[in-house]
Amino acid sequence: METGDKIYVAGDRGLVGSAITRRLAAAGYTNLIGRSRHALDLTDQQAVRAFFEAERPDHVFMCAAKVGGIRANNSYPADFIHLNQQIQTNVIDAAWRSGVRKFLFMGSSCIYPRDCPQPIKEEYLLTGPLEVTNEGYAIAKIAGLKTCMALRQQYGFDAISVLPANLYGPGDNFDLDHAHVIPALIRRFHTAKENGDRHVTVWGSGTARREFLFVDDLADASIFVMNHYTGAQHLNVGSGKDLPIADLARLIAEIVGFEGEIVQDPSMPDGTPRKRLDSSRLRDLGWTPSVDLRTGLTRTYAWFLDNRTRLREGRGHALSHG
């Protein structure tokens, strides 16, 4: 990418899209375009096509998606499979038709089979059943990744895909009905501290292991691969380290300053037992993460404290979906 190229970040108000936009601007890219969901409905095919025909971006970062944690995925499976397929199909198709030079599709590590060997290699995709608690979202994301591969094979469309580990960071969604585990725990421990509660209950047994990636690291990796990688093979993007959810909860409680008891609720789902990515392909290209978990969590909690008034008023929901 040249610094003057026109770059469209789809979902630039969300967690990932806003981080990529910040990183692009900091790196000197000056011709960035984005649209809020109110200005451009990505489920509207004609509107999306008209946008691409008018703007003609050179490069696209496809970050827009309907996302959520276990509770949201369990509650709204039809929304997760239907809306995500609508959004990504419209954007991928319009980008190809309008002559976009390079396209990055943002996948997710949750699209791998539930019981993958660890660490998870890229070739393990579609080798076993999915985790049922996020099956709709995973199927939609697999369809998007495969669409990019098919357009590359048939038409030479330069579309690449990255699959990040569990993401967190400034701009995350702290709505407890939709949040992923880190923002949900930050909000619950903070509220408990404010209320003087003696304990906080955490879903699941606490034994499930997760790998977490700070969103600014993903932004750096995304820009890196746009500049240094062209290939049909999707790339894993991870920190290389995982930990049990129970240990994560204790670390977040320490950072927030909650001193009460943490109680696990094993009657609630754990999700996939373990999910750690093998990111050696990306490391071999020359990229490595730079933000460790404690530092990232501290920065995320600081962002939460600075924005909690807006979150209480209900405006935080739009910050993560983009």
What are the binding residues? Answer: 11-17, 106-109, 141, 164-167, 180, 188, 203, 210, 270
Structure tokens at 250: 């204790």
Binding site, annotated residues for NADP(+): 11-17, 106-109, 141, 164-167, 180
Asked if the bond preceding 119 is cis, omega within 30° of 0, the reply is yes
124 belongs to the catalytic site: no
Binding site, annotated residues for substrate: 188, 203, 210, 270
CA atoms within 13 A on the CB side of 281: 19
The DSSP secondary-structure symbol of 132 reads G
Catalytic residue among 76, 137, 168, 229: 137
What is the residue-wise DSSP string for 235-269?
EEE--S-EEEHHHHHHHHHHHHT--SEEEEETTS-
Chain position carrying tokens 């990306």: 282
Is residue 174 classed as helix, strand or coil in its secondary structure? coil
b/e map 122-155, b = 16+ CB within 10 Å: bebbeeeebbebbbbbbbbbbbbbebbbebbeee
Q: Strands, E, within 32-177: which ranges?
A: 32-33, 59-62, 102-106, 159-164, 166-168
Residues assigned a catalytic role: 137
